[in-house]
């Protein structure tokens, strides 16, 4: 039986990027805010000590920053007719744990989505009409670029993003991404320096008439102090970046950029190692009354609150809603319900290139240090007659070739022994890869639900993922990979290995942690769960924030948009909800 605690103004579930941003914004208004985090408190100075942070065995092989699957995992299947099985090790993606969440081990690539993304269904219907593949359930976001732009800007300033504007107030700027939406301000920091492989790629792309630009990076190019007064150090290109915490305060994260300022505020409390079990609702189901959480001793507590903000990783956002009975669970057979609907992923493609005469010094790098082009992304090219929509961000971002996992050997090399060792030595310095992080479009059959068979240690059903790559996305993957091969050829490698994404979806190797949907935003409560303020339809004091709100995933990394949505929700609560608590939009 849960013991009841005194009520507070706001509870925030999850202290990653989204939860920390909202908690900080609301604490600034004077509200009493309690943040709940199922994992430990993480802090750069103690957890990512520079003398031990660069430990590949610990952080990459043994995944120290990831959620333990014994605490919570997902079950997976490709289609409705299969019985889902639990993921006992993480493979396809990496859910994080502890304060900072997955925003500790991310790569730092911080794109904005394009203006057309926020009305994707309308836009593609206008352009392609009946040609649009019938299997897709694309939707508009119920918001606009103009409404999103200030919040993208706020997140870029918070995270100290380094980059080069390509479209400043409608004027195309040389050297930036010409396909981006009109931005009101330049990036807060100039682009980082580039290593050899991205430089070579950018030259090749430019020679083919493309417009290469520095990948927008939350790894600081210089010392930077953000609007909360927190300082980042310049990135050293140490090469221990994706899957690691940053010891230099260079990779933006909630623990570097937000929590040091937030935790000093007397009206904010963080409760760590405290797993939220459910959102409690009043008898009418139209008001959240607080949350139930369990501490590390197994004691359950009820924390009543006036406002409940759920800002965990996408899987837990959706599962908490299903467990709390918020919204009708989605049913793909009847095509009814909204909770669990429009689940999508990311379609990761690559072309690996082996050279004889190059030295890329691949151990130098960072998760977001690189050059990219956007000619084959989303709808930046004409899809008429191609039989698919969507595309990907093409780029070279060498994250750092650490000694255990970086064994770039050409096809035909034995997996062990003297020949393998020799091939490693021959190829380690002279191999590079072009990636294409491509869109993942939602369909009727891809969705999230509670698993009927498997439970977590608290006896609650695990989340079940039903997903496979849609035909549309597999065609797109082949197309964009062919385009990347054309660029790669002009760079004259000795050998190339194109790897377009193929089905079926599996958990055997890492693809991407860019998982979206399941509690999506929109303009209509019939096919969306939250309105454009991230406010749950019909439960006005409950907000669910994160990539769970994306109706589909474009060919970009999601974190910039997760951060912008967090600022957007906080802004709506401050500006509208606190003035007049209730539905901010009525339909």
Partner 1 sequence: MKTLLSLSAMALLGLTVQAAHAGTGADSYNLVEKGRYLAVVGDCTACHTVPGKAPFSGGVAIETPFGKLVGANITPDPDTGLGHWTFDDFQKVMSEGHSKGGKRLYGAMPFTAYTKVRKEDNLALWAYLQTIEPVNNPVETNQLPFPFNVRTSLIGWNMLNFTPGEFTPNAEKTPQWNRGAYLVEGLGHCGTCHTPKNLIGGDKNDQFLAGSNLQGWIAPDITANAHSGIGQWSNEEIVEYLKTGANRFDIASGPMAEAVENSTQHWTDEDLMAVAVYLKDGQPAAAAPQPVAADTPAMVAGKAIYADRCSACHVPNGEGVKNLFPKLAAAPLVNSTDPTSLIRVVLAGSRAGGTEAAPTGPAMPSFAWNLSDDNIADVLTYVRNTWGNAAPAVSVGEVSDLRGDLHP
Closer by beta carbon to partner 1, 207 or else 225 = 225
Give the β-pairing of 171-172 and 167-168.
antiparallel
252 contributes a contact to partner 1 by CB under 8 A: no
- Could you say whether residue 46 binds partner 1 (CB under 8 A)? yes
CB nearer to partner 1: pick between 52 and 492: 52
Residue 537's SS3 state is: coil
Interface region with partner 1, contact rule CB under 8 A, candidates 91-99, 227-235, 268-276, 503-511: 227-235
Coil, helix or strand at residue 59: helix
| Helix (H/G/I), strand (E/B), else coil: 432 | strand
Say if CB 258 and CB 567 are below 8 A apart: no
Tokens 């990653």 identify what position? 16
Which one of 42-50, 321-329, 457-465, 540-548 is the stretch in contact with partner 1 (CB under 8 A)?
42-50
Indicate whether 71 belongs to the interface with partner 1 (CB under 8 A): no
Structure tokens at 25: 């914004």
> Quick check: 229 binds partner 1 (CB under 8 A)?
yes
Told to check if 233 binds partner 1 by CB under 8 A, we report yes
Alpha helices in 438-583 (DSSP H): 471-490, 559-572
Of 176 and 234, which has the nearer Cβ to partner 1? 234
Residue 242, exposed/middle/buried by CB under 10 A (0-12, 13-18, 19+)?
A: buried
Task: Give yes or no for residue 159 binding partner 1 (CB under 8 A).
Answer: no
Q: Residue 361 Cβ, how far from partner 1 at the closest point, in Å?
A: 16
The string over 46-76, giving b where at least 16 C-beta atoms fall within 10 Å of a residue's C-beta and e elsewhere, is: ebbeeeebbebeebbeebbbbbebeebbbbb
Query: Which listed range, 59-67, 223-231, 344-352, 570-578, lies at the site for partner 1 (CB under 8 A)?
Result: 223-231
Residue closer to partner 1 by CB (options 192, 248) is 248
Binding test (CB under 8 A) with partner 1, winner from 4, 40, 45, 453: 45
User: Contact region for partner 1 (CB under 8 A) — 44-52, 101-109, 147-155, 514-522?
Assistant: 44-52
Smallest gap from Cβ 36 to partner 1, in A, equals: 22
Contact between 248 and partner 1 (CB under 8 A)? yes
Selected catalytic residue, list 94, 105, 151, 514: 514
* 231 makes contact with partner 1 (CB under 8 A): yes
- Answer yes or no whether residue 236 interacts with partner 1 by CB under 8 A: yes
> Does 264 participate in binding partner 1 (rule CB under 8 A)?
yes
Q: Is there binding between residue 361 and partner 1 (CB under 8 A)?
A: no
In this complex, which beta carbon is closest to partner 1, that of residue 108 or of residue 554?
108
* By CB under 8 A, residue 498 contacts partner 1: no
Q: How far is the CB of 364 from partner 1 (least distance, A)?
A: 12
DSSP string for residues in 210-269: ---EEPPBSB-SS-EE-TTS-EEPPP--BS--TTS--TTS-B--HHHHTHHHHTT-TTEE
- Binding to partner 1 by residue 227, rule CB under 8 A? no
210: nearest Cα among 84, 347, 376: 376
Long-range pairs of 323-326 with CB within 8 A, sequence gap ≥ 24: 323/277, 323/278, 323/450, 323/460, 323/461, 324/278, 324/279, 324/280, 324/281, 325/281, 325/285, 326/279, 326/281, 326/529, 326/536, 326/539, 326/542
On the CB side of 437, how many CA atoms lie within 13 Å of its CA? 24
For residue 580 the two structure tokens come to 């007049």
In the residue annotation, 514 being an active-site residue is answered as yes
Question: Which residues are catalytically annotated?
Answer: 514
Q: Residues in the site for partner 1, rule: CB under 8 A?
A: 44-46, 49-52, 223, 225, 228-234, 236, 238, 247-249, 256, 260-261, 264
């Amino acid at each position: 039986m849960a013991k009841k605690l005194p009520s507070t103004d706001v509870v925030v579930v999850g202290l990653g990027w989204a939860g920390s941003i909202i908690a900080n914004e609301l604490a600034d208004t004077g509200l009493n805010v309690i943040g709940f985090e199922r994992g430990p408190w993480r802090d750069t100075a103690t957890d990512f000590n520079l003398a031990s942070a660069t430990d590949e065995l610990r952080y990459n092989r043994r995944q120290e920053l990831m959620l333990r699957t014994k605490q919570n995992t997902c079950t997976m299947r490709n289609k409705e007719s299969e019985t889902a099985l639990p993921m006992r090790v993480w493979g396809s993606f990496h859910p994080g744990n502890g304060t900072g969440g997955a925003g500790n081990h991310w790569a730092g690539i911080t794109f904005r989505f394009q203006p057309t993304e926020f009305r994707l269904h309308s836009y593609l219907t206008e352009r392609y009409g009946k040609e649009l593949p019938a299997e897709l359930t694309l939707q508009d976001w119920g918001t606009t670029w103009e409404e999103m732009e200030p919040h993208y800007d706020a997140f870029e300033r918070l995270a100290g993003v380094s980059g080069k504007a390509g479209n400043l107030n409608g004027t195309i700027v040389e050297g930036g991404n010409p396909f981006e939406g009109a931005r009101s301000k330049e990036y807060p920091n100039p682009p980082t320096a580039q290593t050899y492989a991205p430089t070579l790629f950018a030259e090749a792309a430019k020679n083919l008439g493309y417009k290469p630009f520095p990948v927008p990076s939350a790894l600081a190019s210089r010392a930077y102090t953000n609007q909360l007064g927190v300082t980042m150090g310049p990135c050293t290109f140490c090469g221990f970046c994706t899957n690691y915490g940053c010891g230099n305060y260079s990779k933006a994260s909630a623990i570097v950029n937000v929590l040091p300022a937030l935790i000093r505020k007397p009206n904010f409390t963080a409760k760590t190692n405290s797993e939220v079990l459910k959102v409690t609702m009043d008898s009418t189901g139209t008001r959240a009354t607080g949350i139930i959480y369990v501490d590390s001793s197994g004691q359950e507590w009820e924390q009543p609150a006036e406002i409940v903000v759920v800002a965990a990783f996408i899987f837990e956002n959706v599962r908490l809603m299903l467990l709390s009975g918020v919204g009708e669970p989605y049913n793909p057979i009847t095509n009814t319900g909204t909770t669990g609907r429009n689940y999508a992923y990311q379609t990761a493609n690559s072309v690996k290139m082996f050279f004889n005469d190059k030295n890329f010094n691949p151990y130098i790098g960072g998760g977001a240090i690189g050059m990219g082009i956007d000619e084959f992304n989303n709808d930046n090219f004409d899809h008429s007659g191609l039989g698919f929509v969507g595309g990907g961000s093409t780029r070279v971002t060498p994250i750092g070739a650490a000694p255990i996992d970086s064994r770039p050997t050409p096809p035909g090399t034995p997996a062990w022994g003297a020949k393998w060792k020799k091939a490693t030595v021959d190829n380690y310095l002279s191999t590079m890869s072009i990636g294409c992080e491509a869109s993942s479009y939602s369909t009727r059959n891809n969705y999230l639900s509670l698993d009927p068979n498997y439970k977590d240690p608290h006896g609650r059903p695990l989340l079940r993922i039903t997903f496979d790559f849609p035909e549309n996305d597999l065609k797109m993957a082949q197309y964009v990979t062919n385009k990347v091969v054309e660029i790669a050829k002009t760079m004259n490698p000795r050998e190339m290995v194109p790897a377009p994404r193929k089905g079926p979806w599996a958990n055997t190797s890492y693809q991407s942690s860019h998982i979206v949907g399941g509690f999506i935003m929109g303009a209509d409560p019939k096919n969306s769960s939250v309105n454009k303020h991230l406010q749950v339809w019909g439960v006005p004091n409950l907000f669910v924030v994160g990539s769970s709100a994306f109706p589909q995933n474009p060919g970009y990394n999601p974190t910039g948009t997760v951060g912008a949505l967090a600022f957007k929700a906080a802004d709506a609560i401050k500006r509208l909800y606190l003035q007049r608590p209730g539905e901010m939009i009525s339909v």
